[in-house]
Structure 1
Amino acid sequence: MECLWHLFPRGWTCTDPPDLDNGYAYVEHDNLLRAVRQKNQVLAQKLSESNKQHLADSEKIHRLNQLFHQARDDASTRERSHRRELGDLYHRLNSIQMTQDRVSDDQILEQMHRLHQKLDNWIKTCFKDQDKLAAALEPTADGFPRTRPQRHAWVQSCISGWIHQSVFAPYLPGLPGDHFDWFCGNVEVGVQESCPEATLQTWRVATSSAIEYLGENNRNETIDNILAVVECHFGSASSLEPESRNQRLREILERCAVFKYTLSRQPDRFSFDWCQAGDLFAADSMTAVSGDGEEVRLCLWPGLLKRTISGDEEILERQLVWTMKEPEY
């Protein structure tokens, strides 16, 4: 028989040759090869499609990464720009705020005179009945006060003294006690001695604003206490209803507190001066509205001292006093 091994597909071995007498072996083998080839073609096609999809996905991911990084960079750029703009706005706002808080000496004097005038008008409106007022006041050994102006001056001296003690004299109205007043004063000295002038001014404005905001309850309590003392001493002598006169006086006291806050935010330092009955009259620091002597009988309204950044001190407003003659022994 002629050798036909070269007609068989590769992979067949001589150790297990096909049965040449069985024609079905060739058919099965051929079918098997076709099935394998078809399967391989399908797998190859799927592999090709998978590779193409992988390349497409990789390209898409790469593009998305580029977009993400670009978006992140753009966001960072916008954030930095926003922060710069916000910082500029805050700086401008602070500058405007500090500029708005600054007032001239003439404006300060105008506000102080207006406060005194409002208190004077309140007294003249509330205490028109001189018989009631005379009954509410206990005269001194020399019969003072005996006239309408003297009685009004007496009431004004008392109320102004309470305002000075509770609003003008403390470091700032609204602090809960003397220890906080002492502490804030010492902190300011420390900032002044260890920091530049601009830092000191910023600290003053920030501290004043914070105390004004946080100390509202304490400030209202201080005003309520003054109203209660005024009502206790002079309520029976008033010609107006308690609610009406207390509301008007409360507005004056609140304006006094605002005036104190305004002064605390100035580059220069301001303090109030208050003399006592019996002090010698000093023409350089006092203005006598009435009286006939060399001694202070009543202080009607405090004076205002100004200390500049350089340390110079001047009397911006003199105390308003009522004088009397020295007693003869």
Structure 2
Amino acid sequence: MSQPEFDSLLEKYLAGKCSQAEEAAVLEWYQTFIQDSDISMSASEKEGLERKVWSNIRSNIRLDRKIFAINSIWKKIGVAASLLLISGLGAYLINREIHNASPTIAFDDVAIPANYTSTSNDSKETKTIQLIDGSSVSLQPGSKIYYPRQSFNGNSRDVFLAGNAFFEVAANPDQHFMVYTSEGMIAEVLGTSFYVLQDTERKKVEVEVISGKVSVYEHHGRSRHRERDTASSVILSPNQKVTYKPEHNRFVTTLVEKPQPVKIHADQETFSFEEAKLSTVLETLEDVYGIQIEVNNPGFANCHFTGDISKQDLYEKLDVICKSVQAAYEIKGTMIYINGNGCK
């Protein structure tokens, strides 16, 4: 069957005007190519495939009459897939590497390489995955990650995450480590440790940095290696996090819920003070936690603090300090502000 003949047959099928023999021919191709192949697709992948192939159909074939309902939605997808393949638009399906390969799906229009494998965590415990470059991934329950079987090729080390995970990335200045999320956000690092947390119900992604620096930005277009828009990117330091909501294309930065010491040998740092200047106390906290702290009143220069706050976490420390000088603290972005009248 020639290309024009198949296009004509497809158009008739979509319009509900195929004969039984013609309909059988179309569905037989679908049965052979999709259902009897080694392709494995989840319900979400099928839904994503449906949207993509129908988008391509609408932009590549013009029907002059109404498309009638087809009994089975998967008959639509089978026909759509055949159109994509025969008209030269079938790269999406072909790249799934039908023979003994993990599925290649699209994360925000980015195809996962055919040589990637995947690991899902269907248990109730965190699953640790060692990557070929020496990095490790703590995959949380209900999550899935795609990564290369043998080696990372190209200028970057790309992985694809659906769900939540903690990454400890092996340093490699020649290959940045890039985490693509299903919400269209990328976290890019050299060597560091950080969390990627996706909330599908609230449609948001959070990145929390434990050590090192992480660049977070939106992904645009189909190329995995397209330059990022620096105007819509955020660079995070330890104890900082960013929340990304794709529906608003917006990044919101703040501090993590429980900041941890980032200074080397922080456990040897003393938080026992005797009539210490407030500025000295706050500088110690800044140094240990890597968080900038500002006061809103010059009068705080006259304040002193006495106490042992070694066992409290950062926010508890601040509560004790602020209570002693009749002040209050607030978090704005990635900074902490001490507000009050100061001391005389």
Asked whether the two chains share a fold, i.e. TM above 0.5, the reply is no
- Choose between structure 1 and 2 for higher RCO, CA contacts under 8 A separated by at least 6 residues: 1
**Which structure has the bigger radius of gyration?**
1
The bucket for the TM-score relative to the shorter chain is under 0.3
TM-score (norm 1): 0.21
Where is the strand percentage greater, Structure 1 or Structure 2?
2
Where is the helix percentage greater, Structure 1 or Structure 2?
1
